[in-house]
């Protein structure tokens, strides 16, 4: 083989490279990947697992979906838990009452005093919400929209708004209008943090802490008390 032919072979993309490029793109294979990941929402947290598979197969850098090594794992954990707990109390005691929401979350009120249901609830809040929803809505969807719109300030604002609206709409079906409103606001806050930092670990902790705080409030039947803490 001549040097010229060898150089041409080295420079030509392999089948694996072409496959990865098509997964990253928005052609038929890229769109199919989006649809498969979206369909995974039926069995949470399957979508998040599929995102990780897509990231690997497409050759997408892990940092593009926010999987960046934390400067301090303990610091991220403490910051996330603190942020999530405080944010939940602010939403329950101030924001949602101002929006006229029912103090009782009827979709999850079955958890009140229900010790048998706690293990499944804790699993859901940590794995499905903390890991799953953050990986999909902040990691994957941000990456996809970033490829479409670019990385300008305007593009990031549009991405935050669109992901928050999508996140909110996904909560309407099981939690009604109040759940959609809360999820949209949460999506705006979490999305803004992600757009600024590009890091997802703290948000995973914050999301799990937010939802676990909600579970605790419901379990100990404190919803009305917290909701009327500021506005009697």
d(CA 124, CA 118): 10
User: What is the C-alpha to C-alpha distance for residues 77 and 40, in angstroms, rounded to an integer?
Assistant: 27
Is the separation of the CB atoms in 205 and 76 below 8 Å? yes
Integer angstrom CA distances of residue 7 from 2, 17, 98, 177: 9, 17, 67, 61
d(CA 98, CA 79): 27
Closest to 79 in 3D by CA, of 212, 205, 179: 205
pLDDT tens sequence for the chain (232 residues)? 455 444 444 456 798 999 999 999 999 999 999 999 999 998 889 999 999 999 999 999 999 999 999 989 999 999 999 999 999 999 999 999 999 999 999 999 999 999 999 999 999 999 999 999 999 999 999 999 999 999 899 999 999 999 999 999 999 998 999 999 999 999 999 999 999 999 999 999 999 999 999 999 999 999 999 999 998 7
Supply the pLDDT for residue 192.
Answer: 98
Tokens 């794995």 sit on residue: 127
Largest CA distance in the chain: 85
Which residue from 192, 144, 194, 188 is spatially nearest to 166, judged by alpha carbons?
A: 188
Q: Could you state, in order of their start, the residue ranges of all structural domains in the chain? A: 67-227
């Amino acid at each position: 083989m001549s040097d010229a032919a060898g150089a041409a072979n080295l420079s030509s993309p392999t089948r694996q490279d072409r496959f990865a490029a098509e997964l990253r793109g928005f052609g038929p294979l890229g769109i199919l990947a989006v649809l498969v990941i979206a369909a995974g929402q039926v069995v949470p947290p399957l979508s998040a697992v599929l995102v990780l598979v897509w990231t690997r197969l497409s050759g997408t850098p892990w940092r593009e979906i926010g999987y960046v090594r934390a400067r301090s794992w303990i610091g991220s954990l403490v910051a996330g838990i603190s942020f999530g707990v405080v944010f939940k109390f602010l939403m329950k005691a101030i924001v949602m009452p101002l929006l006229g929401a029912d103090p009782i979350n009827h979709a999850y009120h079955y958890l009140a005093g229900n010790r048998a249901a706690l293990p499944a609830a804790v699993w859901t809040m940590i794995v499905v919400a903390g890991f799953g929803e953050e990986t999909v809505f902040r990691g994957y969807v941000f990456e996809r929209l970033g490829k479409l719109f670019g990385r300008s300030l305007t593009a990031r604002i549009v991405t935050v708004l669109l992901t928050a609206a999508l996140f909110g709409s996904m909560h309407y079906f099981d939690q009604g209008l109040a759940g959609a409103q809360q999820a949209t606001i949460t999506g705006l806050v979490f999305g803004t943090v992600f757009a600024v930092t590009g890091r997802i670990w703290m948000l995973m902790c914050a999301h799990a802490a937010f939802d676990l705080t909600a579970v605790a409030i419901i379990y100990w039947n404190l919803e009305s008390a917290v909701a009327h803490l500021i506005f009697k």
